[in-house]
């Protein structure tokens, strides 16, 4: 905001009501890494005081710090702001940028419409806007919609960079047990022979025993543990295996030497608004955005990996969602019941 004098759009009826400064950052990490952003947004209060609002009628909303503007779910301060505007308690809503108020097109347009209906001004670092004025409403709408476009472009750039690295087979994310990152950013066997032996034991005993429950009993009876490598490369903790740890190890294609990226896609119909990571659906390895067989050293071959998945599915059909497509034909008998065979790959991998 550049005006030094009180803008003509601010009338006594606006000064009689509240002036609200809405402060938001999209992620908790931004609060730690970029504290100056919050301080800059708070300084809007100084300009509002210059425009004539007394201190007792200025409210600063910080409850939505660390929450994404892509949804209104969980943003209690924003919901309170809308309700106060509708009750005609607010004369001015200020944010560092209009699209800071919301990154969701429908939400920002609804806010502008409510402010227009109840004669509430909007302000950002560039100036003051009266939504009842057509030109101001047009500028507000464009600025608000640009926020959604900007968010899409940021995500697109980030995803493109990760995709290019994935196409080269460079490992992204946490390193699986029994592996370390090599100089080329691809997976390499853990240099610790004891760690490699522990991982091989899981596959050997599972093939012999045939179920996760039997494998866990064997590890418990013989007091066998699995390695967890900490943030420091030299730190290794040995812990009793959990059921989900063993399942993840057995169904991860990395242990068969295959690199996959995009193993889970988001289904909009299953996603819960405001909750990150919901609505994800697992894909078969060959259906991933990037699938590179024989990308790095393997603990087992691809055929053995497929057999392991079939064993897992026989004893727990609910796990099929992790194991790719189910063929429309072909049933195997397991425990007296018919179980559909799992088709994990249409291609034969050597």
- What residue spans of the chain are helical by DSSP H? 12-15, 28-33, 35-42, 44-50, 76-86, 98-101, 105-117, 134-167, 193-209, 212-221, 243-251, 302-315
Share of the chain above pLDDT 70, in %: 81
> What pLDDT does residue 345 have?
38
Lowest mean pLDDT among 16-20, 117-121, 312-316: 312-316
Mean of pLDDT values over 130-139: 93
Euclidean distance between CA atoms 340 and 94, whole angstroms:
59
Mean of pLDDT values over 198-209: 92
Phi, psi dihedral angles at 189 (to 5 degrees):
-60, 145
Residues 210-250: tens digit of each pLDDT: 888 899 999 999 999 999 876 655 678 899 998 989 998 99
Mean of pLDDT values over 107-135: 92
Are both 12-159 and 190-343 of the same fold? no
Marked catalytic residue, from 26, 68, 102, 345: 26
Lowest mean pLDDT among 164-173, 221-230, 256-265, 318-327: 318-327
> What pLDDT does residue 340 have?
40
Mean of pLDDT values over 314-325: 55
Task: Work out the pLDDT band at 69, boundaries 50, 70, 90.
Answer: low
Pick the CATH number of 12-159 from 3.30.530.20, 2.40.30.10, 3.40.50.1390, 3.20.20.70: 3.40.50.1390
Long-range contacts, stretch 335-342, CB < 8 angstroms, 24+ apart: 339/313, 339/314, 341/310, 342/306, 342/309, 342/310, 342/313
Contact 131, 122 (CB under 8 A): yes
26 is catalytic: yes
Give Cβ neighbours of residue 188 (< 8 Å, ≥ 6 apart): 179, 180, 181, 182, 296, 297
> What pLDDT does residue 116 have?
94
> What pLDDT does residue 2 have?
46
Residues 26-60: tens digit of each pLDDT: 766 766 666 777 888 888 899 999 999 999 999 99
Both ends of the chain: CA-CA distance in Å?
65
User: Rounded to whole angstroms, what are the CA distances from 130 to 14, 95, 99, 134, 333?
Assistant: 11, 14, 16, 9, 71
* Cα dihedral sign, 309-312-314-320: negative
Share of the chain above pLDDT 90, in %: 37
Query: What number does CATH give the domain 190-343?
Result: 3.90.1750.20
Contact 251, 219 (CB under 8 A): no
Q: Is the pLDDT of residue 327 over 90?
A: no
Q: Is the pLDDT of residue 312 over 80?
A: yes
Residues 282-297: tens digit of each pLDDT: 788 888 889 999 999 9
* Domain residue extents for the chain: 12-159, 190-343
Euclidean distance between CA atoms 154 and 157, whole angstroms:
5
């Amino acid at each position: 905001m550049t005006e030094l004098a009180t803008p003509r759009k601010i009338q006594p009826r606006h000064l009689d009501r509240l002036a609200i400064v809405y402060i938001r950052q999209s992620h908790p990490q931004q609060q730690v890494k970029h504290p100056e952003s919050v301080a800059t947004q708070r300084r809007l209060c100084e300009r509002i005081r210059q425009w004539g609002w007394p201190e007792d009628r200025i409210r600063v909303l910080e409850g939505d710090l660390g929450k994404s503007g892509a949804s209104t779910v969980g943003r209690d301060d924003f919901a309170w702001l809308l309700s106060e505007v509708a009750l005609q308690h607010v004369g001015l809503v200020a944010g560092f940028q209009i699209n800071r108020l919301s990154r969701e097109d429908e939400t920002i347009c609804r806010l502008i419409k409510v402010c227009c209906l109840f004669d509430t001004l909007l302000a950002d670092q560039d100036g003051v806007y009266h939504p009842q004025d057509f030109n101001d409403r047009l500028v507000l709408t464009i600025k608000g919609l640009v926020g959604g476009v900007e968010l899409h472009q940021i995500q697109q750039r980030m995803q493109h960079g990760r995709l290019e690295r994935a196409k080269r087979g460079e490992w992204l994310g946490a390193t699986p047990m029994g592996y370390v990152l090599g100089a080329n950013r691809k997976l390499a066997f853990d240099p610790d022979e004891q760690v490699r032996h522990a991982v091989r034991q899981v596959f050997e005993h599972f093939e012999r025993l045939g179920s996760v429950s039997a494998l866990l009993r064997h590890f418990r009876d013989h007091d066998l543990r699995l390695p967890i490598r900490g943030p420091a490369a030299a730190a290794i903790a040995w812990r009793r295996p959990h059921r989900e740890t063993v399942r993840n190890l057995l169904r991860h294609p990395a242990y068969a030497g295959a690199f996959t990226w995009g193993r889970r896609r988001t289904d909009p119909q299953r996603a819960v608004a405001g909750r990150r990571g919901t609505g994800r659906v697992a894909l078969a390895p060959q259906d991933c955005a990037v699938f590179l067989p024989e990308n790095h050293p393997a603990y087992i071959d691809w055929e053995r990996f497929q057999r392991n998945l079939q064993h897992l599915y026989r004893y727990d059909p609910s796990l099929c969602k992790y194991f790719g497509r189910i063929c429309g034909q072909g049933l195997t008998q397991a425990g007296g019941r018919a179980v559909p065979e799992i088709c994990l790959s249409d291609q034969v991998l050597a």
